[in-house]
C-alpha cells in the first residue's frame, strides 16, 4: 500500500521556482494563493533565508552590497500550471529592503513605496516575516514597518537573522528584549524565531510556522 503523502513536508521538500518580479503594484499577479512575505532592512538576510528554507542556493539572489533585491520576487513550489484550478498552494515573496541610504534617493523612495503599498494593500498576504539582524535589534525604520502592519492589521512575526554572528547568551538577551518591545503590538504573532542561514539554524521552526500560517 502506498503511504499517504505528507502535504506539509512535501511543500518544502519539492523544488521551488521564481515566477515573477514585480517592480510596482500594477504588475502584481492576480490575488490567488496565500502569500507569505519576507521584509526587513537592506542586507538583513531576506534572500539568503529564503534560499536556506528552500535548500536552493542561488534561487533568490543575494549580495554583500545592500539593495540587491529590487522587486517583489515571487517564488512558488514547482509543478503547478498556475492556470484554472491548478494553482500553487502558496507563494513566498522576497521583498526589496528598506533603510538603504546609499542608493539614489529616487530609487530608495520607489522601493520604500512599493514595500509599504504591498504590505498595506494585499488581501492575500497571510503573514509577514519581519527580519531583524541579531547584531542590531529593532531600529526606527523597523518600527515604522511594524506600526504600518499593526495599523493595517496584517499579521507579522519577527525573525532574528545572522545569529551565528553573536554569542548564544546575546541571542537570549535580544529575544527577551524584542519580546518586550512587541508586547503591546496588536498584529504581532507571538514567538520570535532565531535563525542563521549560514548555519541552517531555526529553519525547521520557520518552515513549520509558515505551513501553519498557510493551513490556518
- From the list 67-75, 81-89, 122-130, 205-213, the region that binds Mg ion by CB under 5 A is 67-75
8 or 117: CB nearest ligand GTP: 117
Q: Does 162 bind Mg ion (CB under 5 A)?
A: no
The full length of the chain comes to 216
Counting other chains too, the contacts that 175-181 makes at CB distance below 8 Å and 24 or more residues apart are 177/137, 178/132, 178/137, 178/138, 181/138
Distance of closest approach, residue 100 Cβ to ligand GTP, in angstroms: 7
- Residue 8 binding: pick among Mg ion, ligand GTP, none (C-beta 5-8 Å cut-off by kind): none
146 CB neighbour count, 10 Å cutoff: 20
Q: Which is nearer to ligand GTP, 35 or 190 (CB)?
A: 35
Q: All 3 cell numbers of residue 110?
A: 520607489
Q: How far is the CB of 109 from ligand GTP (least distance, A)?
A: 15
Q: Which residues of 166-183 are buried (b: 16+ CB within 10 A; e: fewer)?
A: beeeebeebbeebeeebe
Return the number of the residue (89 or 137) whose C-beta is nearest ligand GTP.
137
Q: Is 69 in the site for Mg ion (CB under 5 A)?
A: yes
> Footprint of ligand GTP on this chain (CB under 6 A)?
40, 42-48, 62-64, 66-69, 96-97, 161-162, 164-165, 196-198
Residue 190, judged by CB atoms within 10 A of its CB (0-12, 13-18, 19+), counts as exposed
Q: Which residues sit at the interface with Mg ion, rule CB under 5 A?
A: 46-47, 68-69
Amino acid at each position: 500500500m502506498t503511504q499517504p503523502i505528507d502535504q506539509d513536508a512535501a511543500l518544502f521538500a519539492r523544488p521551488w521556482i521564481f515566477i515573477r518580479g514585480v517592480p510596482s503594484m500594477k504588475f502584481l499577479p492576480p490575488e490567488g494563493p496565500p502569500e507569505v512575505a519576507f521584509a526587513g532592512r537592506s542586507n538583513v538576510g531576506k534572500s539568503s533565508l529564503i534560499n536556506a528554507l528552500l535548500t536552493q542556493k542561488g534561487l533568490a539572489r543575494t549580495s554583500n552590497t545592500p539593495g540587491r533585491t529590487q522587486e517583489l520576487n515571487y517564488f512558488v513550489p514547482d509543478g503547478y500550471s498556475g492556470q484554472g484550478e491548478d494553482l500553487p498552494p502558496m507563494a513566498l515573496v522576497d521583498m526589496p529592503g528598506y533603510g538603504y541610504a546609499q542608493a539614489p534617493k529616487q530609487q530608495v523612495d520607489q522601493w520604500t513605496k512599493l514595500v509599504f503599498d504591498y504590505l498595506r494593500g494585499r488581501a492575500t498576504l497571510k503573514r509577514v516575516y519581519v527580519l531583524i539582524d541579531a547584531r542590531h535589534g529593532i531600529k526606527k525604520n523597523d518600527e515604522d514597518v511594524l506600526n504600518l502592519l499593526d495599523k493595517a492589521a496584517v499579521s507579522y512575526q519577527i525573525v532574528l537573522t545572522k545569529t551565528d554572528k553573536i554569542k548564544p547568551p546575546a541571542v537570549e538577551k535580544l529575544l527577551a528584549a524584542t519580546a518586550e518591545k512587541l508586547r503591546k503590538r496588536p498584529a504581532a504573532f507571538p514567538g520570535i524565531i532565531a535563525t542563521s542561514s549560514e548555519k541552517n539554524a531555526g529553519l525547521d521552526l520557520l518552515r513549520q510556522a509558515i505551513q501553519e500560517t498557510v493551513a490556518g
